Structure 1
Amino acid sequence: MPKSIWGTISASANTEGGIIVLGAKERNDGTLEVVGLGDADRMLDDFWNAAHSTDKLSYYAMSDRDASIESTDGKDLILIEVPRADRRLRPIYVNGNPVTGTYRRDHKGDYRCASNEIQAMYRDASDESVDTRIHENLTVDDLYAETIGSYRRSCELHHSAHAWADLPDDEFLCRTGAAKVGSDGKVHPTSAGLLMFGEEWRIMAEFPHYFLDYRQELGTDERWQGRITSQDDSWSGNMFDFYWRVFNNMKQVINVPFKLDENSQRVDETEAHDALCEAIANCLTNADYNERRGVVFLWKEDGLHFSNPGGFLIGIKDAYIGGNSDSRNETMMKMFTLINIGEPAGGGIPDMVKKWTAAGYGRPVLSEQVNPERSSIFLPLESKENSDFCEWGQNASSTSLAHGDMSALLTVPNAQSSDNERVAFRLAIEQGRVTTAMLSESAGASKLTANRILRHLADIEVLTWRGRNKTDPSQ
């Protein structure tokens, strides 16, 4: 049993998960050569004995079905599938020491985490949203009154008869979570209130790395054609005002077809506008404002790029599926949903993907990086048809899901394939697997139909079954 396996388990659990193969070696070209194990049963027993010990792993993050013996060409391999650890359990560390035993994984391999990464994982592990902290050195009078007024007018526009409409500012801010009563009995801003409604110089005093940056980069002649930053003293520099400035700039890229409502009035916003709102709000409310490099939004020729410090709390695969809301700044997300921006029930990302593609654009892409940790959303501006062609070409040759030859794999994304087969194939590429439940939800099909589709794709060797047998409920 190689000693390095425990650092790799820590790294995989603290990043996006992965599969460890024992009994194979990597060739110079990156492919694997099966060598086999002399006594796979004994090695698997040794693995589980150590894995159950807290002296080795801080948390036992795997189930019995995550490690198995597989035979290839008469040679035994051990496959260990390490799931991404729940953010409440991270950091997963080895040898009882989080300082020296916490690892993550990037494109270069496993690396030992620095103290700031470990601290960020502990912050994310808390059950209390980080933006609820009270700043007792400030009062609500230190917030920017014009932004508060703008937000309240937005609330009244969407909730004209709401009971909060006539409340004084301090009570209104307490109801939204932007302020709380402190230990001194007085009302003070929370982190959510300060970031949403404060002025940049006050925010910087509490969050030294706070920075919001928007750039329009559409050519090579100039560095940018337009820029908005929180450090420009011509405006407040807070998050709420930044949201509207960026949205009003970026929405210019969206094609608006001529359409009238029931009152014969021109409809100026489309589903693509809703998707843009979700992308902006998601990045702003998911950002870790204690980290460096700030929030960066770019309008480029290929599309709209959004990135923020801090990874996705639930992982990219689960974010695509939806149904599990877990925002880093829950109070700010609540404040946006009060004015009908964003989706609080975990459906924001799937809804964004659906609406952006329905408007004729390419499929949005979520990505995540570590060291430093950042999460990104990309809204492509090319047509859906061009995006599909590019995506199949890029991914089909590299996916590990194909069991048959490449010609069988490429029969899926063509005109003869059903829409549901296309959905299944796309899920498999994006998320590494597709289950009956996933396909049923994404395609809007019954579970019986979804199961029949997956069995057909397995029969023609486009997809491969994973499970103990064909009746395994966890296949």
Structure 2
Amino acid sequence: MEKESIADLLKYGEHITLECKKAEGSLPKSLWETYSAFANTVGGTILLGIEENPKAKDISQRFCIGTIKNPDQLLKDFWNTVNSEKVSSNVLVSTDVSIVQYEGQNIIRIDVPQASYHQRPVYINGNPLKGSFKRNHEGDYHCTEEEVKSMLRDASDTGNDGGLLDGYTMDDIDPETLKAYRIEYELHNPDHVWNGIDNKSFLRNLGGYTVDRITGKEGLTTAGLLMFGSGLAVRERFENIRMDYLDESNLTPGIRWNDRLTYDGMWENNLYNFIKRAMPKLVKDIRRPFHLSGMSRVDDTPVHKAIREAVINLVIHADYHITGVLKIVKRDDGFLFSNPGNLKLSVSSIYEGGNSRARNPHIQTMLRMIGMGDNIGSGFPTILNAWNEENWRKPDLSENTELHVVELKLWTLSLMPQECTEYLHRLMGKQYDRLPPDDQIILCTTYLEREITNARIQILLNMHSTDVGKHLYELVQQRMLLVSPNGRWTTYHLNEDYKTQPEQIKLCDMAPSQPKLIDTDQLIYEYICENGFITTQQVISITRITTKAGASIALNRLIKKELVKQKRNGRHIYYVKA
């Protein structure tokens, strides 16, 4: 892919992934903090030789182009340092760093990719606890000790759920949960040799129980306790984690939810029970078209499979070592799945499919053995394909790297619902109709989702960040979108007080000069302009006129001035603009 120009980056780029630094005679010390921050977050571009004034809103005043006197030497110094012990890992290739010309000056451009989960944390000065940085809306910040530990855990392919939990034994397993699982296991694997072994051996084979070969200690693993443990044992060991299902669909005024599944003492709070109780609630209103496979009815539609995959992803990718909530919300316009942790892979690679790096591979195996979970790397494409078949909005996968939360929103709405286009047409008139299709989709998405980000539109339109930035910039210039700045992070929302600007009006839009009207006639005419038509009864309701005869007289005055005309639909008479 061709790189964006410096001009486009400065004008349209997302500032959370762009850092400008003054560099006249040497590399700035803060360069390495930004390098670490970009590598540990989502990547970004560093421009050496440009100074930024973040408070300036005017693009011409925001950036000051400096002079790099010895760019070749700085480039050599950079490569020497990035390959030294100063930095824990070099994530760059030669084409990521270059000297470019901008406004007659030499600029050093460094495109830092997101480091792989094997390489993270990328740190400086030989100390991961003190030298690891991440990026947020304020800029570069020191990673907390918990963030560093989380990245170190995630760097291993063995996962986070196979470790021995000291003091937790088979006595902490809920017998009824394990019994239910084993029945389901045997139904899916009727001839499997594990069906005949005892519970401890069964769990050990699944990764739910382990023995330390050096110390001889044995007991439940994280996977074993979370999946099959008694509610009390799970809550005691993982007091930082909560499971929550909410049904917020079809709400009446004053009601916060119609159904809830949470820690209420009515069920053993483990993952297996949470999944088995939440799934029927999620899919009970989804239509099941009549379909036969042989002589048996098939009730498992692509949408049912997609929702099941979303629940599985929630469970197998959650970070159970940090504080958070496994949350599922059912709404009128779709579903929300939220889990603690950050993504091990980039959002774009997850949408592409074919990759799977579960944080909890033993839990993943336990679920796959009872038919829950497709082949490795195919889970998210299953969701995308099902939603595409229904012509629903593209699923929205996002992460909040500050709150350490991953969210998946599955909208059960079309890309351009009629309600949305009608509202935008009423709000913006012909200006909306003249917009390119991509801009109309951006506005419609903003209306439906209340706010948007550059990242959301990238996924929705399969477009590069800077190209999205151009569209957003133009919509802001036309005052159709309003900017909600939050440091270096920007969100956009719809301008619900939009008024067409004089420079946007074309000659064909201008109405002929209107004769001066008395107040009553003006009120009637404005009502027709706003609503498209009016009846004599409606004239009575909005004016001081009290009879249909009086309403007809007022309407006839407007007809004589060629502002209104009468129309008939069967026996019904109404009036519209002439």
Task: Tell me: CA distance 1:48–1:386, structure 2 relative to 1, closer, same or farther (3 Å).
Answer: farther
How far did residue 268 of structure 1 move? 2.6
Residue type at the aligned position of 2:311: I
1:238 offset after TM fit, Å? 0.3
* Pair 1:269–1:22, CA change in 2 (3 A): same
Matched position secondary structure for 2:284: helix
Alignment CA distance shift 1:407-1:276 (3 Å): closer
Q: Is the 8 A contact 2:66 2:105 kept in 1?
A: yes
Structure 1 equivalent of residue 363 of structure 2: 332
Residue 344 (structure 1) shift? 4.7
1:76 partner SS: strand
Where do residues 160-179 of structure 1 align in structure 2 (5 Å cutoff)? 160-179=190-209
Q: 2: distance between equivalents of 1:290 and 1:412?
A: 39
Deviation string 1:83-135 (CA, Å, 9 cap, x unpaired) is: 11122222111222222221111222211111111111122123422211123
Give 1:237 shift. Answer: 0.5
Alpha-carbon contact 1:132-1:191 (below 8 Å) kept: yes
After superposition, the CA RMSD in angstroms is: 3.0
Establish whether residue 139 from structure 1 lines up as the match of residue 139 from structure 2.
no
Which residue pairs with 1:351 in the alignment?
Answer: 382
Q: State the Cα distance separating 1:411 from its structure 2 match.
A: 11
Distance 1:176 1:432 in 2: 48
**What letter matches 1:242 in structure 2?**
F
Residue 206 (structure 1) shift: 2.3
2:194 matches 1:159? no
1:304-344 per-position Cα deviation (integer Å, ceiling 9, x unaligned): 11111111112212211222221111100111111121235
CA distance in 2, matches of 1:222, 1:193: 37
Q: Does the alignment pair 1:281 with 2:312? A: yes
> 1: distance between equivalents of 2:362 and 2:126?
34
Identity among equivalent positions (%) equals 33
CA contact (8 A) 2:368 2:374 kept: yes
- Distance change (3 Å), C-alpha of 1:194 and 1:82: same
Q: In structure 2, what is the Cα distance between the partners aligned to 1:30 and 1:321?
A: 37
Whether 1:103 aligns to 2:142 is no
1:254 matched to 2:289? The reply is: no
Compare 260-269 and 424-433 and name the one that shifted more. Answer: 424-433
Q: Is the 8 A contact 1:207 1:289 kept in 2?
A: yes
The answer to whether 1:6 aligns with 2:41 is no
* Alignment partner, residue 29 of structure 1: 57
What corresponds to 2:463 in structure 1?
428
Answer yes or no: is 1:209 the counterpart of 2:240: yes
Q: Does structure 2 retain, via aligned residues, the 8 Å contact 1:24–1:36?
A: yes
Give the superposition deviation at 1:278. 0.9
What is the aligned counterpart of 1:360 among 391, 401, 412?
A: 391
- Kept after mapping to 2: 8 A contact 1:317/1:431: no
Closer, same or farther in 2 for the Cα pair 1:186/1:91, shift >3 Å?
Answer: closer
Match of 1:188 in 2: 219
Q: 1:360 to 1:165 in 2, by over 3 A?
A: farther
**Separation in 2, partners of 1:386, 1:66:** 42
For residues 339 and 217 of structure 1, what CA distance do their matches in structure 2 show?
30
Whether the 8 Å contact between 2:159 and 2:359 is mirrored in structure 1 is yes
What is the identity, as a one-letter code, of the residue corresponding to 1:188? G
Which residue number in structure 1 is paired with residue 353 of structure 2?
Answer: 322
| Residue-by-residue CA offset, 1:130-164 (whole Å, 9 max, x unaligned) | 21112352322420111112212222222223232
CA distance in 2, matches of 1:51, 1:35: 25
* 1:126 match: 156
Unaligned runs of 5+ in 2: 1-26, 425-434, 443-457, 469-578
8 Å CA contact 1:412–1:425 kept in 2: the answer is no
Is 2:290–2:298's contact at 8 Å kept on the other side of the alignment?
A: yes
d(CA) in 2 for partners of 1:208 and 1:412?
43
Cα distance in 2 between the residues matched to 1:385 and 1:205:
47
Residues 98 and 323 of structure 1: CA distance in aligned 2, closer, same or farther (over 3 Å): same
Instruction: Check conservation: 1:144, 1:199, Cα contact below 8 A.
Output: yes
Do residues 91 (structure 1) and 101 (structure 2) align? no
2:571 aligned partner: none
Match of 1:245 in 2: 277
Cα displacement string for residues 207-244 of structure 1 (whole angstroms, at most 9, x for unaligned residues): 23121111222346222222111x22110010011012
Corresponding residue for residue 309 of structure 1 = 340
User: Which runs of structure 2 are paired with 1:373-384 in the superposition (5 Å)?
Assistant: 373-384=404-415
Instruction: Letter of the 2:39 partner, please give it.
Output: A
Structure 2 distance, partners of 1:37, 1:366, is 41
How many residues align? The count is 406
What is the identity, as a one-letter code, of the residue corresponding to 1:227?
A: R
State the shift of 1:165 in Å.
Answer: 2.4
